[in-house]
Amino acid sequence: MPPRTPRRRPERPRTHTRRTSAARNDAPVPPSVSILDAAFRRAHRVSAHGTGRVDRARRRAELHLVRSFTVVLRHLRQAQRSATTPALTRLEHELVQLRFPAGALERSVRRVRTAEDRIRVLLRAEERELGRLSDPAEFAGLVRRAYGRLASFVREVDPDLVRLEAIHRFRRSRPELRPGEPTIVVAGFPNVGKSSLVARLSSARPEVAGYPFTTRAIAVGHTDLGFDRLQVVDTPGVLGRAERANVAEREAEATLRSHPTVIVYVLDPSETSGYPFADQETLLRRWRAEFPEIPIIEVETKGDLRRTDSGRLTISSKTEEGIRELRARLEALLKARRLVDASSGPSEGETPNHTA
Ligand SMILES: Nc1nc2c(ncn2[C@@H]2O[C@H](COP(=O)(O)OP(=O)(O)OP(=O)(O)O)[C@@H](O)[C@H]2O)c(=O)[nH]1
Ligand SMILES: [Mg+2]
């Protein structure tokens, strides 16, 4: 009797690199490492049944292929889904464009999809090839080669998987602005008292501090103004230097472009913010021209420090002066637009203004 060829199982490939100096320095582990590790672990937990030795070996090889490829495909799908679901609102899309290179999300999704397609094609080709083989000794070699190709496809999209995860985290770090809900955006120069006012008007408790750019990203609170739910959005300060705007200022302006129901423009006549009143009025004029379709309520805050005779509503987040009046004006404005009173709802032919 000829000596039996020892049955060779494909070795489970090692996906954990040895601890290199980079790894010791806590360099991030590429996503492909954990994806492939999960895939190969899953593939090697199979038990194959069959009528004979060859049959069983073939079945085992087939299961190794199908299981490992399926796990990888599931991870790639999940990576795309977590970055793109729920579908980005127009504002979210703008915010992502501001924080990431232009077109980065679309590019990464496309590349990961292409990798998925190539992996599916590879799986079919390897399954066909396996069907043509008859020697169990060759099965293991085929699986090993297929694993190698699979690994290289996944490694190729490592940068995209990293990017998709970053976009997913970025989206989670921003408040969920509901497109159908009336939205009040509080905006103005830095350090004028926007966050203090948002805290007075809504459930939000944003950080308040006596220096500019305390608020670096939009935040949302809710209020009811006696009726329905309203979103109150706190924004980073804007200096109005269109070409030199930092990313926080551009985030604030993107929020205004998202078509809120009403803007509350906060001016600080005391100039304790550090910015001239005249410059604050210039930005207000610019925005009025830029957003003619959005109602803007102008308020002068820090009324406990300084007041003017401009005729604008004077408020103070310290003493609460004017807050009740501001609420009443907001309520009247929203009611006039039939957005607040739940019983009336939008009238026929009227499309509610909202952040979409
Ligand atoms: N006296 C007085 N101080 C106020 C009032 N409102 C805000 N402040 C102070 O002004 C400073 C800035 O307030 P914030 O609410 O953080 O201002 P902001 O516009 O959100 O600032 P950024 O997020 O940096 O743009 C803080 O020291 C507040 O305590 C007010 O009505 N009266
Ligand atoms: Mg603030």
Cα separation, 70 vs 75, whole angstroms? 9
| Three-state DSSP class for residue 262 | strand
What is the H or E stretch that residue 314 is in?
strand 313-314
- Degrees (nearest 5) of the Cα angle 121, 126, 132? 135
Separation of alpha carbons 268 and 112, rounded Å: 49
Do 101 and 136 touch, CB atoms closer than 8 A? no
Most ligand 1 atoms within 8 A of CB, residue of 196, 266, 267 to mutate: 196
- 3-state SS assignment for residue 265: strand
Of ligand 1's listed atoms, the one at least distance from the Cα of 315 is 31
Report phi then psi at 56, rounded to 5: -65, -40
Q: In angstroms, rounded to a whole number, what is the distance separating the alpha carbons of residues 261 and 293? A: 10
Number of CB atoms found within 10 A of residue 35's CB? 25
Could you say which ligand is closest to the alpha carbon of residue 305?
1
The secondary structure element, H or E, covering residue 201 is helix 194-201
d(C-alpha 157, C-alpha 62), whole Å: 25
Model pTM?
0.83
Report d(CA 61, CA 54) in Å as an integer: 11
Among 197, 200, 280, 317, name the best residue to mutate to test ligand 1's pocket (greatest count of ligand atoms within 8 A of Cβ): 317
Radius of gyration of the CA atoms of the chain, in A: 30
Residue count of the chain:
356
Mean pLDDT over each residue of the chain, to the nearest integer: 89
Residue list, ligand 1 pocket, CB within 6 Å: 190-196, 208-210, 212-215, 236-237, 301-302, 304-305, 316-318
Residue 296 is predicted with a pLDDT of 98
Look up residue 221 and give its two tokens.
């609170």
- Residue 17: the pLDDT is 47
Pocket test for ligand 1, best of 197, 214, 271 (most atoms within 8 A of CB): 214
Cβ 186 vs Cβ 48: under 8 Å: no
pLDDT < 70 positions in the chain: 1-25, 48, 50, 226-227, 338-356
pLDDT the model gives residue 338:
66
332-335: which pairs have CB atoms within 8 A and are 24 or more residues apart? 333/262, 333/295, 333/297, 334/182, 334/225, 334/227, 334/230, 334/261, 334/262, 335/227
Structure confidence at residue 241 (pLDDT): 86
pLDDT at 290: 96
* DSSP character at residue 243: G
What pLDDT score does 38 carry? 95
Q: Give distance in angstroms: CA of 337 to centre of ligand 2.
A: 28
Compute, in angstroms, the gap from residue 355 CA to the centroid of ligand 2. 20
